[in-house]
Structure 1
Amino acid sequence: MKRPILSALALSTACAAAIPAGAADHRSFGTWRNPKNSVHVRAQPCGKTMCGVVVWASDKAKADAARGSDAPLVGSTLFRDFRQERPEVWRGKVYVPDIGKTFSGTISVKDANHLEGKGCLVGRVGCKSQIWTRIGG
């Protein structure tokens, strides 16, 4: 995927979480950067699910996002309705602003500082994955 936000699709899949009464994997909460360090997303509880809000983006990522959406990239919710599927694995929806589309994705907690995000464009076609790194340890 060329654009930084499309690469968010892979992570996007990286921020899912239903938060069943005290059972959610809180290791997925926090602020994460994509491999190119062009987008930072804060994964946080949103009601009974987890969401991911963009807290910082490079100028290039902002420009790419502006091609597909009128909404500002910083402050937008890219990861929505992520629910815990099993320990350390989440599933939800990822919004990709540079193309104005929402996709399904998953994230897996690899360790305390890394998430692997996987996403597919349609069904299991065009799948990509990325490793995102926690910011601030």
Structure 2
Amino acid sequence: MARAKSRTWATRAGLGVAGLALSVLAASAQVQPPPATDGIYGVWRNPKGSVHVEIKPCGPEVCGYVVWANDEARTDARKGSGGELLGRQLLRDFTPSEKGEWRGKVFAPDVNMTFSGRVLVLDAGKLRAKGCVLGNFLCKTQVWTRVA
């Protein structure tokens, strides 16, 4: 019971494990070239340290699969989507945009919903992830850290 009360507005809005989501910079007037794909590839940890996602090529696009999750994240995913979190694809159809970011879809298994997402690699060890429910209205932004 106490656990439900501690959930944030973002979790209630459906932005739980993935949070994600995924990222954005303030809009700039200049068009930047698409990011180098090798910068986004790797294993990334969410801010809570509860989930590690491997981002890799999936055909012409980029996707991300859960390669590690703590017990709480795994339990939340089972309650939300009824499935196992490990091996679950959370990021799909990510393609580079003209703003230097990646855009695609983010699946949040704890609420069994898919959101629009954006990712921007900030440097070799950090990326900014943003996930939005209603267009660009209800969003959550996180900074993820490279694990490998």
| TM-score range for the pair, normalised by the shorter chain length | 0.7 to 0.9
CA distance in 2, matches of 1:38, 1:106: 20
1:13 match: 22
SS at match of 1:9: coil
1:20 match: none
In structure 1, give the amino acid aligned to 2:71.
Answer: D
2:22·2:142 contact (CA, 8 Å) conserved in 1?
no
In structure 2, give the amino acid aligned to 1:59.
Answer: D
SS at match of 1:6: coil
User: Per-residue deviation at 1:7?
Assistant: 4.5
In structure 2, give the amino acid aligned to 1:68.
Answer: G
For normalisation by structure 1, the TM-score amounts to 0.84
Gaps of 5+ in 2: 1-9, 24-34
CA distance in 2, matches of 1:65, 1:7: 8
Taking a change above 3 Å as real, the CA distance of residues 7 and 72 of structure 1, as seen in their structure-2 partners, is closer
Runs of 4+ in 1 over 6 A off after TM superposition: none
In structure 2, give the amino acid aligned to 1:80.
Answer: R
1:36 match: 48
More strand by share: 1
Q: Out of 66, 78, 81, which is 1:66 matched to?
A: 78
User: Per-residue deviation at 1:24?
Assistant: 4.4
1:132 match: 144
CA distance in 2, matches of 1:44, 1:96: 18
Deviations 1:20-72 (A, max 9, x none): xxx74210000000011000000000001000000000000001111111221
**How many residues are treated as equivalent by the alignment?**
126
1:121 match: 133
For normalisation by structure 2, the TM-score amounts to 0.79
In structure 2, give the amino acid aligned to 1:81.
Answer: D
Greater Rg, structure 1 or structure 2?
Answer: 2
Identity between Structure 1 and Structure 2 (%): 47
SS at match of 1:26: helix
1:18 match: none
